[in-house]
Amino acid sequence: MPYFDAASSAPLHPIARQALLAALDEGWADPARLYREGRRARRLLDAARETTAELVGCRPDELVFTSSGTRAVHDGIAGALAGRRRTGRHLVVSAVEHSAVLHSAEAHSDRAAAGNGGAAGGDSGPAGGDVTYVPVDRGGRVAPGSYAEALRADTALACLQSANHEVGTEQPVAEAAAECRAAGVPLLVDAAQSLGWGRVEGPWSLLAGSAHKWGGPPGVGLLVVRKGTRFAPPGPADERESGRAPGFENIPAIVATAASLRAVRAEAAAEDARLRALVERIRARVPETVADVEVVGDPERRLPHLVTFSCLYVDGEALLHALDRAGYSVSSGSSCTSSTLTPSHVLKAMGVLSEGNVRVSLPPGTTAEQVEGFLGALQEAVAGVRAELGVPAHGAAEAAPAAGELVVDARGRRCPIPVIELAKAFDRVPVGGTALVLSDDEAARLDIPAWCGMRGQEYVGEEPAEGGGTGYRVRRTS
């Protein structure tokens, strides 16, 4: 069964499996002890740290292993903010960061709102502060100079991912890091998605990664704090990992982490070229074979193995189940696959279509035959889901015109129903007339403007709806 969700978790690399099994026999003892078994475990841990540090591009004493990539992000942000609390409590992040970063930012802001920790510049308590969210363009990329504009005299830390986990867009980390360094502000880079493909360039100060994203074992993250960066480890003191990652080290998994990173880097150039060509095929063929599709993300500055697209008039959960039945494992940022009923914050920040969203992230070894099979399965799955939802055929005969403004009340109905109801009724709107779609689904804020763009109609705007929800007005131009 082709597994096309490597961005969530890559299959365990064969080298990682071999290293893990070997280290289970050799690395079980306490590396802090001086007897033979402890010294053997310490040698394995030190060698893994040196290998990983070389591949990341830092000193071994700057790198610690954590229990996950999320833990590395949380501790990195908390430690950097605490270390620079005398400077200020302002945090800068991009609007499309991973939820691990955004949750830390929310907690930081919540602490400030609760008044916890006293006045800025104090020495005690996990005080919070305010957060600036840097916007992105429709490709998901922050603009050059945007981080320099967001920095202030009281900025303690800035965060920017190296590449986006949902749409694959690469961020200008080197430029942002230079802007931050010029202002004396450390930059933390979430490199979880890109570290398997190469080093993160630029004068960044902190970096987080996650082994299972590149084919290492789950449950191992890494945190780099470069020398000269003020850092106060959060939580009680611990003698492990320079006091920055408490708890007993999982040496077998750490050894497998280092071995897998070295292995995937050795294969990166060849796999980059091969997978990039397969992704280009998907980017070109999906709009050709499936009507009403928007491919999202930067078409050039992107990860080689990842592509995301959204299908109009499609329930995302039903589409993923249909593809699963056809034998293809993919993921989605659509609100109709989420228990929160809200669209992905990444798609929302980009302002692109969210319904029927599919993320394809190819693991190493994916073949052209598997991609061709997926393209055929996708076409059938989308057609089947649309037929079940009663999607009207585009270009159907014009119905009787509406008297006055056409109102489509789709409140209480999830995406993609509001847009489908609009499409069914829109032929009744005369040229120059308007339709008002009433919806209480957050996805409509993205999907109705996207429908207008794809159909060549004018999106007028939104307004509060009497009786609850939001009204979205559309003018017929042709």
Rounded Cα distance between 252 and 21, Å, is 8
Rounded Cα distance between 226 and 23, Å, is 28
pLDDT of residue 400: 63
Catalytic residue among 58, 159, 180, 336: 336
Q: Which residue intervals of 390-429 are DSSP H helices?
A: 417-425
pLDDT at 470 over 80: yes
What rounded mean pLDDT belongs to the chain? 92
**Do 234 and 79 meet the contact criterion of CB atoms below 8 Å apart?**
yes
pLDDT at 397 over 70: no
The DSSP output letter for 35 is: S
The DSSP output letter for 241 is: G
CA-based torsion, 428, 287, 164, 98: positive or negative: positive
Which residue bears the tokens 């009787």?
400
Q: How confident is the model at residue 403 (pLDDT cuts 50, 70, 90)?
A: low
CA distances for 239 relative to 76, 78, 233, 249, 464, angstroms: 17, 19, 12, 11, 56
Rounded Cα distance between 344 and 139, Å, is 15
pLDDT of residue 113: 81
* CA 175 distance to own-chain centroid: 20
* CA 154 distance to own-chain centroid: 28
Residue 336 annotated as catalytic: yes
What phi and psi, each to the nearest 5 degrees, are found at residue 209? -145, 170
**Segment 357-378 mean pLDDT:** 96
**Segment 447-476 mean pLDDT:** 92
Number of neighbours of residue 293 by Cβ within 10 angstroms: 21
pLDDT of residue 393: 66
Nearest to 378 by CA among 317, 311, 312: 311
The two three-digit tokens of residue 85, written as one number: 């609390």
More confident residue, 391 or 217: 217
Rounded Cα distance between 154 and 185, Å, is 9
pLDDT at 395 over 80: no
pLDDT of residue 285: 97
Q: Are strands 357-361 and 306-311 parallel, antiparallel or unpaired?
A: antiparallel
pLDDT at 13 over 70: yes
pLDDT of residue 339: 57
Rounded Cα distance between 173 and 223, Å, is 17
The two three-digit tokens of residue 9, written as one number: 């978790």
CA distances for 113 relative to 66, 81, 101, 118, 126, angstroms: 30, 17, 19, 11, 13
pLDDT of residue 297: 96
**Segment 313-336 mean pLDDT:** 88
The DSSP output letter for 397 is: P
**Segment 165-178 mean pLDDT:** 97
pLDDT of residue 63: 98
Question: What phi-psi label fits residue 107: left (phi over 0), alpha (psi between -120 and 50 degrees) or beta?
Answer: alpha
Q: How confident is the model at residue 396 (pLDDT cuts 50, 70, 90)?
A: very low
The two three-digit tokens of residue 460, written as one number: 């007028």
pLDDT at 392 over 80: no
Rounded Cα distance between 208 and 187, Å, is 11
Rounded Cα distance between 296 and 277, Å, is 17
